[in-house]
Structure 1
């Protein structure tokens, strides 16, 4: 059986190019979780250092961040404090990466399909509205009711890092849900910053910003040298936002929303393959540069920028922000004041209670009412833990404290509330997840098919009412899956219409670089009613599943090739494959083929006789467990 202990072969340049797709595999997301875990740890360390610094040497902390810097040329001067440099300039880069993620999710990600997006979108909106209402209710009469924006946003960095640290054993589906929710949450927070916390608005500089943003949009059509043009226009737009009174960090979002995002075109990938072959045959600097540029250009600017900036944001910018903003003085007087402050309690209740009830309550109602798509693994107990984590409102909450509250004493009370709420939310989530994992019959869940067969969705060969069912999670480049396919054909020859066979995707992308492309291609073929024909074609030629081979197979099967190529990059196709992969993760599938016989995981040989014997034993077991009624007697 092919599994994760296989030795990885040396990557071929053509395989590397073929693997350059924007669909993120489970392994990619696990690696991203590792980066976010380190980023969250650095953020926590910076927070603790800021608190210690502010309490051990209050004067030096404040004086350091109030240090002035002057940048300019001639009469044009910009005067910044270090605190403003972090909050206005560096945080613009953070918001830029947020904008890139928002743009991607709505263009080619989780939020492209309303049935898929419905659950996280509605949960996010409820998680924005209810905390704000609770805050206003509690803080009424404190003169700070207008600071309700502090409690609306979840800190994505801490959220993902905390999920990696204390989340459930199999967090895949929950992780996707929370990341989609965080994107909508960020949109709400950014909109509120722009509409509610903008002062001294001057319209003329925004006209200049609009021209700069138009330039950013049209820069995509430049054949070369786009980087310097993007950088120059971004600085102009940022300065225009600064002069307009709109918070300059929002310039990062505006720019990011205009950066193009797309899935790689087959022709671009094929061109990169040809250049890679040319370089391999005749290695020289010119061909190397051409091949590298072509491969890079096949990936959208959006994703290249996300990859480039993510480490700097996680490891530098956010820790610096925490160091500059989390330095709350925890003197007995301040703690005593915070303990009775409606501002502090409004923040704690808004983030901890409001987020928990808003996110979990709305998601639970949708799940019970069967509204939207949830999928295996997104159970109520895990939703409860994820909703608790949403109460960690660190980065944007502290950011809005600085925008909404001018009084230094009140700012301290608000920061105490943000820090306390984040700690409480983390503890509550940890308790929920630990209880959930302790009560969950995990071993049994891994032995049972997580999602029942649905003829309207699944690829089913055989009658829908057949008494025997084999579900295979497999990989079109796996030689053992090919053998299993032959065994199942033998089983069908014996059982005939008494057997239905179901294929689901579990591509081992770490070892089969074209497996994901094959899975998505089979789904594109399925949209033209040729799934099993395409499956047989892929199994018949496992060594040749590159983009040109896949299109050639589609042409040989008589598919509409133009439609096939469009469907290859559609959200429906990539989402369908990802669903199967998340189901496989939820059941702990790490090797292929993995077979389920009448809903139970098959352990042992998968030759035809063993499978027939397992089917018959499963039928006998079912007959013994079905209660006999008097009428039946």
Structure 2
């Protein structure tokens, strides 16, 4: 195997600056996938508006949201209240976008491995079971033990918004974990509503839904015009769920989980580039349309829909949802009754303590028993904060109150319990995040290598059991990484078999649009045992990293081109690169190259003498393998 790269190693004064090429790209890329802080603030504003409105003029609040809308032709018509339109239709769109993101994570993202995907699933199931048991124990003797369904659900909208407001800065992995948990939680909660609390459940329309969902699955094989087919079948599925008595928002999740997600193929990208060049030479409407359509079709419909719906969900649907659902009327008499009500306190304890124990306890147990794992940066404190936030059970909890409790007085007590539990859960989560993010252990996250070096996974140059370790998070299009590669070559030559060098990906997307493609290409080459050879070719010619250049390099290295192209679009390659990027985000890496010397972040100059001194002087037992990766 050749050395990582051979390039000019002449001194560069900029190399001494540890903040070489700075940008918000990695963190911004992860955070941009979810609702912005502005959207979360709008959600909170909508909640406060609803509470003030409902208590200042409850009659007008109820009258407005009970306004009926009738849509139809002749004898075929739909009759909705505004409140039902928001909860049944608009929220189906929200759950659809959440389902799209979770589908992506399970297909080509963070949750592709069984060991990581199983953790949020187990946490969600325990988050359904433990609160139910606690409620039944506390409400025993009240006559309303059957209302245990009130405490089963986590409010996904408020969970996502709350995380954006009070969660940690590097919340990429935590958000993915909580979203996956919330989707399983919602599927379980909505199924329980259908089976336990729905008197008019009719399973026959679900047969129609099954046919529609099957059609959605096969639509991926239609060569053109898939958009209208998806839309038509999705509407049919939604109506089928509505007619069955199952909450129709579940249709949004079901449809989203069947929408295909994939990496763009080289042929599609090349075709789009060719049409773009044709348009540049002959700028006509026909070529403009062809180029635009080709570019759009090269991206999976999953990702196109996520980007299209995200602004409407964040800035319209969620704030409207909050105004429609958060109008809980609070009076002195209601509060007095609730203070001694076992129903109220059963709900509060079950949501606040039960959700925390179910989610945090099961996550901890799964990790201790080594049945699953969490990614780097998902520390105990962050998981604890996320588990506390799961106690916000607003919308479905209030919805089930009306189904499970017939006494208006007890309904009011239950609503107070739901509201109090949601406020407490939000406040406790904020305190946990604040306390843990500023604790010495959490502050150490950015200074310590969070994921231990794994010879079975990492790209290692040198003996895998060498006593000294140098880990680099870098970008194949970064000029500073190019210069540092020459320095690392000197270090490798000097230390020989005492050093193992590890490369991990941290592409700066805002600066280098081809960086992710280059990283994925190196992973595809690694599947044929040529990672460092491909790394060298990428560094030597950083200006030419288009798809055709990538293939040319693969051919020059003697790779199997057919296998290389197939691996380029595989889920494992995309997940591997993104996993490194999430690691980098968790450790607040916004500049590359970022080096870790024997497991600790290197902030001194990057010249060979400084690196050799740092590597050889640190003879403490602290090694990359002993870092706080899962702490």
Shared fold per TM-score greater than 0.5: yes
Q: 1:80-125, CA deviations, whole angstroms, 9 ceiling, x for partnerless residues? A: 2222222333233233334433433333333332112122222222
Residue of structure 2 in register with 1:549 after alignment:
549
* Contact 2:446/2:587, CA 8 A, preserved across alignment: yes
Shift of 1:247: 3.2
In 1, the alpha carbon distance for the partners of 2:156 and 2:107 equals 20
> How has the CA–CA distance of structure 1 residues 597 and 201 changed in structure 2, closer, same or farther, with 3 Å as cutoff?
closer
Equivalences, count: 606
In 2, the alpha carbon distance for the partners of 1:149 and 1:102 equals 25
In 1, the alpha carbon distance for the partners of 2:489 and 2:142 equals 74
Shift of 1:370: 4.1
Shift of 1:474: 0.9
Report SS of the residue matched to 1:502: strand
Residue of structure 1 in register with 2:259 after alignment:
259
Residue of structure 2 in register with 1:285 after alignment:
285
In 1, the alpha carbon distance for the partners of 2:174 and 2:243 equals 42
Indicate whether 1:31 and 2:28 are aligned.
Answer: no
Shift of 1:202: 3.5
In 2, the alpha carbon distance for the partners of 1:332 and 1:420 equals 15
> How has the CA–CA distance of structure 1 residues 611 and 418 changed in structure 2, closer, same or farther, with 3 Å as cutoff?
same
In 1, the alpha carbon distance for the partners of 2:232 and 2:354 equals 42
Shift of 1:539: 1.1
Residue of structure 2 in register with 1:185 after alignment:
185
In 2, the alpha carbon distance for the partners of 1:483 and 1:493 equals 16
> How has the CA–CA distance of structure 1 residues 85 and 280 changed in structure 2, closer, same or farther, with 3 Å as cutoff?
same
Residue of structure 1 in register with 2:475 after alignment:
475
In 2, the alpha carbon distance for the partners of 1:378 and 1:255 equals 29
* Contact 1:173/1:582, CA 8 A, preserved across alignment: yes
* Contact 2:21/2:591, CA 8 A, preserved across alignment: no
Indicate whether 1:583 and 2:583 are aligned.
Answer: yes
In 2, the alpha carbon distance for the partners of 1:139 and 1:37 equals 38
Residue of structure 2 in register with 1:276 after alignment:
276
In 2, the alpha carbon distance for the partners of 1:550 and 1:403 equals 59
* Contact 1:326/1:415, CA 8 A, preserved across alignment: no
> How has the CA–CA distance of structure 1 residues 223 and 93 changed in structure 2, closer, same or farther, with 3 Å as cutoff?
same
In 1, the alpha carbon distance for the partners of 2:345 and 2:243 equals 35
In 2, the alpha carbon distance for the partners of 1:354 and 1:479 equals 52
In 2, the alpha carbon distance for the partners of 1:54 and 1:363 equals 39
Residue of structure 1 in register with 2:65 after alignment:
65
Q: Which runs of 5+ in 1 are unaligned?
A: 9-23, 624-633
Indicate whether 1:390 and 2:390 are aligned.
Answer: yes
* Contact 1:199/1:246, CA 8 A, preserved across alignment: no
Report SS of the residue matched to 1:71: strand
Higher relative contact order (CA 8 A, sep 6+): 2
Q: 1:102-153, CA deviations, whole angstroms, 9 ceiling, x for partnerless residues? A: 4333333333321121222222222121112212222334443333233222
> How has the CA–CA distance of structure 1 residues 544 and 400 changed in structure 2, closer, same or farther, with 3 Å as cutoff?
farther
In 2, the alpha carbon distance for the partners of 1:167 and 1:568 equals 34
In 2, the alpha carbon distance for the partners of 1:62 and 1:219 equals 42
Residue of structure 1 in register with 2:91 after alignment:
91
In 2, the alpha carbon distance for the partners of 1:455 and 1:289 equals 49
* Contact 2:356/2:388, CA 8 A, preserved across alignment: yes
Indicate whether 1:452 and 2:452 are aligned.
Answer: yes
* Contact 2:20/2:593, CA 8 A, preserved across alignment: no
Residue of structure 1 in register with 2:627 after alignment:
none
In 2, the alpha carbon distance for the partners of 1:308 and 1:403 equals 35
Report SS of the residue matched to 2:317: helix
Report SS of the residue matched to 1:305: helix
> How has the CA–CA distance of structure 1 residues 273 and 147 changed in structure 2, closer, same or farther, with 3 Å as cutoff?
farther
Q: Superposition pairs for residues 512-523 of structure 1, below 5 Å?
A: 512-523=512-523
> How has the CA–CA distance of structure 1 residues 407 and 473 changed in structure 2, closer, same or farther, with 3 Å as cutoff?
same
Residue of structure 1 in register with 2:121 after alignment:
121
Report SS of the residue matched to 1:259: coil
> How has the CA–CA distance of structure 1 residues 297 and 199 changed in structure 2, closer, same or farther, with 3 Å as cutoff?
farther
> How has the CA–CA distance of structure 1 residues 123 and 249 changed in structure 2, closer, same or farther, with 3 Å as cutoff?
closer
* Contact 1:241/1:247, CA 8 A, preserved across alignment: yes
Report SS of the residue matched to 1:32: coil
In 1, the alpha carbon distance for the partners of 2:464 and 2:448 equals 20
Q: Which runs of 5+ in 2 are unaligned?
A: 1-14, 623-631
* Contact 2:348/2:417, CA 8 A, preserved across alignment: yes
Shift of 1:424: 0.4
* Contact 1:38/1:161, CA 8 A, preserved across alignment: no
* Contact 2:448/2:600, CA 8 A, preserved across alignment: yes
Report SS of the residue matched to 2:473: strand
What CA RMSD, in Å, does the superposition of the two structures yield over aligned residues? 2.8
In 1, the alpha carbon distance for the partners of 2:451 and 2:250 equals 42
Report SS of the residue matched to 2:500: strand
* Contact 2:26/2:585, CA 8 A, preserved across alignment: no
> How has the CA–CA distance of structure 1 residues 618 and 184 changed in structure 2, closer, same or farther, with 3 Å as cutoff?
same
Residue of structure 1 in register with 2:365 after alignment:
365
* Contact 1:206/1:241, CA 8 A, preserved across alignment: yes
* Contact 2:155/2:392, CA 8 A, preserved across alignment: yes
Report SS of the residue matched to 2:591: coil
User: So what's the TM-score if we normalise by structure 1?
Assistant: 0.88
